[in-house]
């Protein structure tokens, strides 16, 4: 059934992507690729479903056979944000179903339509009624009762830090397990020996893809002092050529902000950065001449120090803070001096530097000389305030399983 669902997702990818794009304004090219990839994601977990196996355990108790088996936890509540509703649901749903769990999905109140369409595919794939359920509504009114419901065993949540903490508190009160994928303020660290052309492209995709509305956005650019001015000027030249506008057009590179509150939040952080004394070297304004939609220019601030709010708090928009550093030690110190630990990248031609820095940076995903590479086979999740647990890969299925130990005497 999981495999068949994968085929159905791929066959319906264009339609699902179009619904999602209309909901959150993401680029058509980006969201279509994401939805197609979801098909492969379900097939990967279809392949894992019959490879969940326990072990015979040697013990000091003679004449007793001791073995473990894994059992589904039960009902899983899946609560997701608006930036990538289908993908972020699949990251939880595919391993949960492969583990034998059932699910109740609550999508974001801003982007529920694609999930309701997606739900139609489960019957076609052969899942019995009730295995996958969708309930729409607001976080407090619908999300919280779901989290505290006695029949829900595990909560898989992706979203902001505040809601994540609230859900963790509620889950603790009811002794439920959680997987939390929260925010980020990821450092993109560029050393003077990097291939700067390659690094510029990586930094731009790191922060401006999805108009910065991405948990893994590389929103803090740490540049070695010796190349700071040159690199910033290369960056400004490159971003100035990006085409912003209608996300349905194939040549658009930067689209709008998804929601009115998010648009206002992004603009407020641009003002905060200016008030804090940072220098706006590109963008910094809303654009009302691009048709319907809430557009914010790709924005770059220099003169940022790591104590400023613009360097510490998640903006979730197209705003890059540039912070200079002296050497490896300085880069590691600034890179880690933040509450989050979702992702990071290091740009250098020196393997020694790459290994030194990646060893010390506290983040769940670290890229070297690339940004955003990801796969259904690799674990994703955060250190520190970026979350609890891991999604994707072989081990994600364990989040949805209980271990039972059996002792059998004749």
- Where in the sequence numbering do the catalytic residues fall? 181
For ligand NAD, the closer of residues 335 and 387 by Cβ is 387
182 lies in the site for ligand NAD, by CB under 6 A: yes
Applying CB under 6 A, which of residues 6, 39, 95, 183 lies at the interface with ligand NAD?
A: 183
Q: In angstroms, give the least distance from the CB of 382 to ligand NAD.
A: 6
Q: Which of 6, 25, 143, 284 binds ligand NAD (CB under 6 A)?
A: 143
Of 21, 26, 106, 228, the one binding ligand NAD (CB under 6 A) is 106
Smallest distance, ligand NAD to C-beta of residue 378, A:
13
Position 254 contacts ligand NAD (CB under 6 A): no
Considering beta carbons, is residue 65 or 116 the nearer one to ligand NAD? 116
187 binds ligand NAD (CB under 6 A): no
By CB under 6 A, tell whether 79 contacts ligand NAD. Answer: yes
Judged by CB under 6 A, the residue of 42, 45, 82, 208 near ligand NAD is 82
- When binding is defined by CB under 6 A, the residue of 147, 196, 267, 366 that contacts ligand NAD is 147
Size of the site for ligand NAD (CB under 6 A): 31
Task: Report the distance separating Cα 163 and Cα 256, nearest Å.
Answer: 24
When binding is defined by CB under 6 A, the residue of 132, 387, 390, 396 that contacts ligand NAD is 387
Which residues, numbered 188-227, are part of the site for ligand NAD (CB under 6 A)? 215
Does 364 engage in binding with ligand NAD (CB under 6 A)? no
Give least dist CB 215 to ligand NAD, A: 3
**Secondary structure string (H, E, C) spanning the chain:** CHHHHHHHHHHCHHHHHHHHHHHHCCCHHHHHHHHHHHHHHHHHHHHHHCCCCCCECCCCCCCEEEEEEEEECCEEEEECCCCCHHHHHHHHHHHHHHHCCEEEEECCCCCCHHHHHHHHHHHHHCCCCCCEEECCCCHHHHHHHHHHCCCEEEEEEECCHHHHHHHHHHHHHCCCEEEEECCCCCEEEECCCCCHHHHHHHHHHHHHHHHHCCCCCCCEEEEEHHHHHHHHHHHHHHHHCCCECCCCCCCCCECCECCHHHHHHHHHHHHHHHHCCCEEEECCCEECCCCCCEEECCEEEECCCCCCHHHHCCCCCCEEEEEEECCHHHHHHHHHCCCEECEEEEECCCHHHHHHHHHHCCCCEEEECCCCCCCCCCCECCEECCEECCECCHHHHHHHEEEEEEEEEC
Q: 170 vs 199, which CB is nearer to ligand NAD? A: 170
Does residue 273 bind ligand NAD (CB under 6 A)?
Answer: no
Tell me: does residue 83 bind ligand NAD (CB under 6 A): yes
Of 27, 9, 22, the C-alpha closest to 214 is 27
317-336 positions binding ligand NAD, by CB under 6 A: none
Of 112-141, which residues contact ligand NAD (CB under 6 A)?
Answer: 138-140
Residue 88 or 294 having the CB closest to ligand NAD: 88
Q: Which residues bind ligand NAD (CB under 6 A)?
A: 79-83, 88, 106, 108-109, 138-140, 143-144, 147, 158-160, 163, 166-167, 181-184, 215, 314, 316, 342, 382, 387
């Amino acid at each position: 059934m999981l495999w068949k669902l994968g085929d159905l997702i791929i066959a319906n990818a264009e339609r699902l992507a179009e619904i999602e794009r209309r909901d959150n304004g993401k680029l058509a090219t980006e969201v279509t690729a994401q939805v197609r990839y979801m098909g492969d994601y379900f097939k990967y977990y279809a392949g894992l479903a019959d490879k969940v196996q326990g072990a015979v355990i040697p013990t000091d108790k003679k004449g007793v056979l001791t073995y473990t088996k894994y059992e589904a936890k039960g009902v899983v509540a899946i609560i997701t944000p608006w930036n990538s509703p289908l993908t972020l649901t699949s990251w939880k749903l595919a391993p949960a179903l492969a583990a034998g769990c059932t699910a109740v999905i609550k999508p974001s109140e801003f982007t529920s339509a694609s999930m309701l369409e997606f739900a139609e595919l489960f019957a076609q794939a052969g899942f019995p009624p009730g295995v996958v359920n969708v309930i729409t509504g607001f976080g407090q009114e619908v999300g919280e009762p779901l989290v505290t419901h006695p029949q829900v065993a595990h909560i898989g949540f992706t979203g902001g830090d505040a809601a994540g903490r609230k859900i963790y508190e509620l889950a603790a009160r009811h002794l439920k397990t959680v997987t939390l994928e929260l925010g980020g303020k990821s450092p993109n660290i560029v050393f003077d020996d990097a291939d700067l052309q390659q690094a510029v492209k990586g930094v731009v995709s790191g922060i401006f893809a999805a108009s910065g509305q991405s948990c893994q956005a590389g929103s803090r650019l740490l540049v070695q002092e010796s190349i700071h001015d040159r690199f910033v000027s290369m960056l400004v030249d490159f971003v100035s050529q990006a085409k912003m506008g209608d996300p349905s057009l194939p040549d658009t590179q930067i689209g709008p902000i998804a929601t009115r509150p998010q648009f206002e939040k992004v603009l407020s952080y641009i003002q905060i950065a200016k008030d804090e004394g940072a220098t706006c070297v590109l963008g910094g304004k809303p654009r009302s001449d691009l048709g319907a939609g809430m557009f914010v220019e790709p924005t770059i601030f220099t003169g940022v120090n790591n104590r400023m709010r613009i360097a510490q708090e998640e903006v979730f928009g197209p705003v890059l803070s540039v912070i200079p550093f002296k050497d490896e030690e300085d880069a590691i110190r600034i890179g880690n001096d933040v509450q989050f630990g979702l992702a990071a990248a290091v740009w250098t031609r020196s393997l020694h530097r790459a290994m030194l820095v990646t060893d010390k940076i506290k983040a769940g995903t670290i890229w070297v000389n690339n940004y955003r590479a990801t796969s259904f086979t690799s674990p994703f999740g955060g250190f520190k305030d970026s979350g609890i647990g891991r999604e994707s890969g072989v081990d994600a299925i364990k989040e949805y399983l209980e271990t039972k130990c059996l002792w059998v005497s004749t």
